[in-house]
């Protein structure tokens, strides 16, 4: 049991004084906040076995990953900085895993694989994400009115979302994001209990794409021009996890 000492003697009249009473409370609050020293920790509670350096492993990949395993916890980090795009023909309904993109070399930074010990998993996913306004361009040749010319519809009402999955279970999500205006960086913190065994963590995305409608007039000949749906662009990304043992 930890040794506890009072800051000063408590006399009968001290109950109406602010400072002595607050000193005692601050000591207890400090312990809850992690302020532990030789006066309130059990004797021999930390030995040489708890002070050994971490076991470091560098997995070249892809996917690349760095592991730091300590006696009481472990850290797993995946990071990459390269630009690639996911074209619209690669999109599917629902959640899309970044690690299953067309190029296997781009899996780094999106996925972590390790063997966990029972306890908690806490971490963050940081994604540098780009998606531009799309547009639909067509030409009409009016037989009456209005005059012939090009018509452009800007498609900017679509929304996106990012999420973190642990063993195929959604544990954190951004909620709907208005992504049609360019490039943003998103941070997704997550925390979940875990049992001992293999763990697979990955980042996924989805898009609720809006096709704006245009009412075609009768008696007008329309020629389709460009139907431009811009791809999703990925830049720098970081995924890390801390396994706190029980």
Confidence at 2, pLDDT banded by 50, 70, 90:
very low
- Over residues 193-205, the pLDDT tens digits come to 999 999 999 999 9
- pLDDT greater than 70 at residue 24: no
Closest to 142 measured CA to CA, from 69, 217, 201, 74: 217
Higher-confidence residue of 224 and 66: namely: 66
Closest to 201 measured CA to CA, from 191, 211, 187, 214: 191
**Model-level pTM?**
0.70
* CA-based torsion, 194, 198, 200, 201: positive or negative: positive
pLDDT of residue 120: 93
Closest to 205 measured CA to CA, from 154, 159, 155: 159
User: Across the strands, what pairs with 232?
Assistant: 86, 131
């Amino acid at each position: 049991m930890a040794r506890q000492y009072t800051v000063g003697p408590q006399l009968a009249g001290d109950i109406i004084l602010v400072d002595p009473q607050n000193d005692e409370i601050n000591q207890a609050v400090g312990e809850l906040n992690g302020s532990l020293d030789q006066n309130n920790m059990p004797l021999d509670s930390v030995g040489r076995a708890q002070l050994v350096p971490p076991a470091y492993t560098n997995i070249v990949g892809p996917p690349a990953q760095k592991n730091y395993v300590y006696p009481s916890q472990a850290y797993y980090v995946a990071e990459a900085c390269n630009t690639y795009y996911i074209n619209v023909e690669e999109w599917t309904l629902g959640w899309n895993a970044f690690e299953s993109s067309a190029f296997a070399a781009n899996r780094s930074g999106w996925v972590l694989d390790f063997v966990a010990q029972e306890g908690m998993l806490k971490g963050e996913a940081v994604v540098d994400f780009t998606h531009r306004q799309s547009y639909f361009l067509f030409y009409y040749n009016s037989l009456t009115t209005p005059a012939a010319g090009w018509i452009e519809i800007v498609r900017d009402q679509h929304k996106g979302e990012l999420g973190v999955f642990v063993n195929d279970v959604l544990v954190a999500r951004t909620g709907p994001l208005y992504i049609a205006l360019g490039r943003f960086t998103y941070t997704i913190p997550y925390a979940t209990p875990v049992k001992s065994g293999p763990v697979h963590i990955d980042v996924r995305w989805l898009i609720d794409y809006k096709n704006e409608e245009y009412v075609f007039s009768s008696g007008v000949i329309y020629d389709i021009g460009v139907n431009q749906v811009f791809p999703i662009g990925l830049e720098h990304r970081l995924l890390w996890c801390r396994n706190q043992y029980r």
